[in-house]
Structure 1
Amino acid sequence: MPSQPSSEHDTSEHDTSDGRTADGGDTLDDAVAAYLEADRTHMIDRLAEWVRIPSVAGVPERRSNLLRSAHWLAGEMRSIGFPVTEIWHADEGEAVHGAWCDAPGAPTVLVYSHHDVRATKEENWDQTSPFDPVARDGRLYGRGSSDAKGQVAAHLWGVRAHLAATGRTSPAVNLKLLVEGEEEAGSPGLARLLDEHREELAADLVVFSDTLLWRTDHPAACTSVRGMLGARLEVYGPFTDIHSGAVSGAAPNPAIELGRLLGQLHDDRGRITLPGFYDSVPDLPQERRDELAKLPFDDEDWLARSHTRSVGGEAGYTVLERLWERPALEVIAMTAGDPRGVSRAAIPSMASADLSIRTVVGQSVHEVADQLRAWVDERVDGRFGHELTVSMPTAQEAYRTPEIRALGTLVGAMAKGFRVDVDAVGRMGNAGGGPADLLATAVDAPILFFGTGLVEDNWHDSDESVRFDVLAAGAATTAHLWSALGAMTPEEALAAATGAAAGATTD
């Protein structure tokens, strides 16, 4: 836990835990909403300016743009009033740190996100070029508009709304930001940054903002992320690519062998066949199944929003259970022969596949890596050579938020931000990963997840976009969250939740 400026909780004139503004006027809900509505055009323009900076991760020729993006963000934070803004150099991209800690006795909250973006294929974009953002039909199109510059922008907008609506000159909580520049590359330098800046990042609570919502009309609090392990399998056949007319029928074909291996990764019930893979996967509690079943879901809506052709996966589980509570293994790239240009009619000397394994709480990525190695060694035919490379430096463990009062406070803030009844705010998970477990361990603080993305925002794909109204609702959520948490002591925020409310209030 970080040391606080004072052990006495701040009960100044700015305390708005009763839901009213500092001057006793309209309710905090109305004041926040009014500010966000009046400032919407400005906020969208600022986000569009940031999206124009092509801060692509993992591309050396774009490296300088990561620094430009970091400077843009640092300047935006200073314009809001953050007294501390710093740029930290990591392995593959700059991180931006900000701090505004003028709330004695209130919790210290660290907000985590990232400003680097995925590479693009401009020829696949129909709405606009990836870094030429356009506003159209209530959305902003452009790479990073949702993942995750939009999420960071919602936080900045939320701080502005929080200050304007309450009349405060500083946030009701001690607020810190860490927006890294290499998340899309697997955060290879984050562990070092967390270790080197342990004191500056000390916090009672971490808000992790690189996640999805369920639907605009039915927001849900994310309470878990899956872990992630990447691997590359190469299978070798002939010593060189060789004309099939000369050796066809007798030569070892690595593409066929690789296809045979990949076809064995799942059994006929959709279960992963690595030895011992499910030994550490816990049974899915009925309580969690009931939580997920409360979310509105039908196959047609899901297929349309996710742009997928059909529903499949592990037998015995619903789509949402498969996405958020069960492990998965996907092939995300395959190469053999002549994938581009004119075919040489040759048997390839090598075939490769990139694998992405998603783990759940209870599993260890190190154990899964050993299971994958054993599976490959056992099943590759002796006529072929092979090499398996497992990306342990960028592997991430799964994480689940504990049932603390601050989680219920987030649910209450989401109800206010999205203008729905608190009972309409569901629970969900995040199918992807992220360095949540690393952050929780390094900072020694629990994680709350809150993001403003939707599955239809097309993360990592062409025509990525974000909805204006979702950004506004996200900003309103954080504005209310800071007011509510600011009315608590750190001990109260981290206390175990009791009963159905789990503290689901912003009072």
Structure 2
Amino acid sequence: MHQAHDDIRAFIDAHDDAIADELAAWVRIPSIAGMPEHVQHLRHSASWLAGTLRDIGFPSTEIWSGDTGPAVFAEWCEAPGAPTVLVYSHHDVRAVKADNWDETSPFDPVQRDGRLYGRGSSDAKGQVVAHLWAIRAHLRATGRRAPAVNLKLLVEGEEEAGSPSLAAMLDEHRDRLDADAVLFSDTLLWHARHPALCTSIRGTLTARVEVYGPRTDIHSGAVSGPAPNPAIELGRLLGGLYDTDGRIAFPGFYDDVRPITDARRAELAALPFDAGDWLARSHTRSITGEAGFTVLERLWERPSLEVIGLAAGDVEDVKRSAVPSMAAADLSIRTVAGQRIATVADQMRQWFDEQVAAGYDHLLRIDESIAQESYRTPATPLVDALDRAMARGFGVRDVGRMGNAGGGPADLLATRLDAPVVFFGTGLVEDNWHDSDESASLAMLRAGAATLAHLWSELGEGPLSRR
């Protein structure tokens, strides 16, 4: 094992430039989700990945069509009796505001201070590249011609658009996707110096509320005073979404939220936390949230609601001095264990129906079709194996436990494939996912690749093996 450890790390360290170059080549493809003008780039990105997997040695790679972007499926199953693991991730990326980028243009990757900058470098092309190099390192260190574990990869092209095709894709190809476990690689690590194993992910529900006042935009000099202003009403509504204790105001919202167990509180409390470090890495001004809970408990174990878009009236430089006819806000809700999306959606509808003042109309659109339930990894030998692999890959004695504040189709994968989902990602909060100057720590990618290489070796002979 020590020799294999040395060989894995030596191989990965010897190829640090190649890892960065490969990621940069992929980042240059602007595979932006949800924009028709980038559909061809999504196809190019899928073809790039499929070709790279074939070059590594995967005997079977396919591109599966989605509604707006293709997925890549590959399998390398030549280890009779060993477990089968399905790796899930995505190759589509978020839209960009190119004028806000300082380090480089979004799709012109550059390296600076141990980081590779570019859209998708961390979320999630970098995480997939860590898998590519893990397989290479595993084969080199073990001398095997095929992995010691049966591997399947599903890298979709619509995750940033809410995975609208994934459920149908899982059903259509169900016979190809059988696995003992799913390894979900679209998550964050807690800290570069203190890696932790993610064991839960919050659910996601998005909605848009529109409040209507006058029948048209109308000059304020003609109607100001008696005219209903939807921007003011929307502001009142948004201000009432939380109470003074930081709790979401929807009726019955917390009824189904499961209490945090003592064991989970202890796991999170064991992670090193410094408020100044958190504020610097997260680029936030202050710490807010629900009273009575720590920052990490609020982040991973409690639900949240955010306003992620807001529009009313004239937002450009030229103002017409008009009372707007409509004001709108986009909302993002993160749910936790015990809550169900359908119930939360009903609670939201009830609250807005009750709260919108007389004299205004409103429309609430809730995106239940692409909503995602929360998920918690059950006890499984794969978690223990990943813990040991992370300790070796990151060169630490102890690996903590954490959650993931964002969402993802983990519950969908677990339900449709009847397999437990285990999380492993290489991102950090300072990587600026979905923001300007997104970057990936190349050291985290190398440690992640080493972790996965160790995991495949152990699983080939470990407790999940059927040999």
Amino acid at match of 2:427: G
Aligned 8 A contact 1:108 1:490 in 2: no
* C-alpha deviation, 1:250, in angstroms: 0.2
CA deviation digits over 1:448-486, x for unaligned, max 9?
Answer: 100000000000000000011100000000000001111
Deviation at 1:341, TM superposition (A): 2.5
Question: Could you tell me whether the CA contact under 8 Å between 2:81 and 2:466 is conserved in 1?
Answer: no
Output the CA distance in 2 between the equivalents of 1:217 and 1:109.
Answer: 28
Alpha-carbon distance, 1:488 to partner: 2.8
| Aligned residue in 2 for 1:180 | 156
What's the secondary structure of 1:282's corresponding residue? coil
Give, in angstroms, the shift of residue 382 of structure 1.
1.8
Alignment of 1:402-421 (within 5 A): 402-421=378-397
Distance across 2 between alignment mates of 1:340 and 1:106: 60
Whether 1:35 aligns to 2:20 is no
Could you tell me how far apart the structure 2 residues matched to 1:110 and 1:257 are? Answer: 48
Residue 292 of structure 2 corresponds to which residue in structure 1?
316
- How many Å apart are 1:58 and its aligned residue? 0.7
Map 1:206-221 onto structure 2 (within 5 A).
Answer: 206-221=182-197
1:165-314 matches, cutoff 5 A: 165-314=141-290
Letter of the 1:142 counterpart: G
Give the match's secondary structure for 1:159. Answer: helix
What is the Cα-based RMSD across aligned positions, in Å? 1.0
Tell me the amino acid that sits aligned with residue 319 of structure 1: V
Shift of 1:492: 7.6
Shift of 1:491: 6.8
Alpha-carbon distance between aligned partners in 2 of 1:234 and 1:468, rounded to the nearest angstrom: 43
The correspondence of residues 343-362 of structure 1 with structure 2, limited to 5 A, is 343-362=319-338
The reply on whether 1:327 has 2:308 as its aligned counterpart is no
Report the CA distance between 1:212 and its aligned residue: 0.1
Aligned match of 1:89 = 65
- After TM superposition, which residue ranges in structure 1, 4 or more long, deviate above 3 angstroms? 489-493
1:154·1:474 contact (CA, 8 Å) conserved in 2? yes
Q: Distance in 2 between matches of 1:107 and 1:304?
A: 42
Does the alignment pair 1:162 with 2:138? yes
Matched with 2:374 is 398
1:105/1:490 contact within 8 Å kept: no
**Deviation per residue, 1:156-182 (Å, 9 max, x gap):** 000000000110110010000000000
Q: Contact 1:107/1:489 (CA < 8 Å) preserved in 2? A: no
Match of 1:469 among 443, 452, 462: 443
Deviations 1:199-252 (A, max 9, x none): 111100000000000111100000000000000000000000001111111000
Distance 1:115 1:67, change over 3 A: same
Report Cα offsets for 1:364-414 as digits up to 9, x if no partner.
Answer: 000000000000000101200100000011100000001111101101000
Percent identity of equivalent pairs: 67
CA contact (8 A) 2:82 2:465 kept: no
| Partner SS state of residue 106, structure 2 | coil
- Partner Cα separation in structure 1 for residue 86 and residue 200 of structure 2: 18
C-alpha distance in structure 2 between counterparts of 1:80 and 1:273, whole Å: 52
Given the alignment of the two structures, is residue 454 of structure 1 paired with residue 435 of structure 2, yes or no? no
Deviation at 1:38, TM superposition (A): 1.1
Q: List gaps (5 residues or longer) in structure 1.
A: 1-18, 21-26, 494-507
- For the 8 Å contact 2:104–2:437, the answer to whether it is kept is yes
Paired position in structure 1 for 2:98? 122
**Equivalent residue letter for 2:199:** T
The 2-side partners of 1:52 and 1:484 are apart by: 35
The one-letter code of the counterpart of 1:164 is R
Counterpart CA distance in 1 for 2:327 and 2:39 is 31
Structure 1 match to 2:29: 53
Specify the alignment match of 1:8 in structure 2: none
Cα deviation for residue 489 of structure 1 reads 5.4
Structure 2 equivalent of residue 505 of structure 1: none
**Residue in structure 2 matched with residue 496 of structure 1 by the alignment:** none
The answer as to whether partners of 1:405 and 1:492 remain within 8 angstroms in 2 is no
The aligned amino acid for 2:455 is: L
Mapped contact 2:83–2:466 kept (Cα < 8 A): no
Q: TM-score, normalised by structure 1?
A: 0.91
Q: Distance in 2 between matches of 1:425 and 1:453?
A: 16
Distance 2:59 2:337 in 1: 38
More deviation in 430-439 or 338-347?
338-347
Cα distance in 2 for residues equivalent to 1:471 and 1:254: 48
Between the aligned partners of 2:367 and 2:12, the Cα distance in structure 1 is: 43
The answer to whether the 8 Å contact 2:202/2:336 transfers is yes
How far apart are residue 136 of structure 1 and its match? Answer: 1.1
Per-residue displacement from partner, 1:406-465 (whole Å, max 9, x unpaired)? Answer: 1011010000000111xx210000000000000001111001100000000000000000
Alignment partners' CA distance in 2, 1:267 and 1:137? 43
The amino acid that maps onto 2:172 is: E
Deviations 1:120-165 (A, max 9, x none): 0110000000000001111100000000000000000000000001
User: What's the TM-score once normalised by structure 2's chain length?
Assistant: 0.99
Secondary structure of 1:82's counterpart equals coil
Give the number of equivalent residue pairs.
467
Question: What corresponds to 2:84 in structure 1?
Answer: 108
2:197–2:401 CA contact under 8 A, matched in 1: yes
- Contact preservation (8 Å) 2:110, 2:117: yes
Q: Which amino acid aligns with 1:65?
A: H
Compared CA separation, residues 234 and 461, structure 1 to 2 (3 A): same
Report the CA distance shift for 1:270/1:492 in structure 2 as closer, same or farther (over 3 A): farther
Partner of 1:23: none
Structure 2's unaligned 5+ residue stretches are none
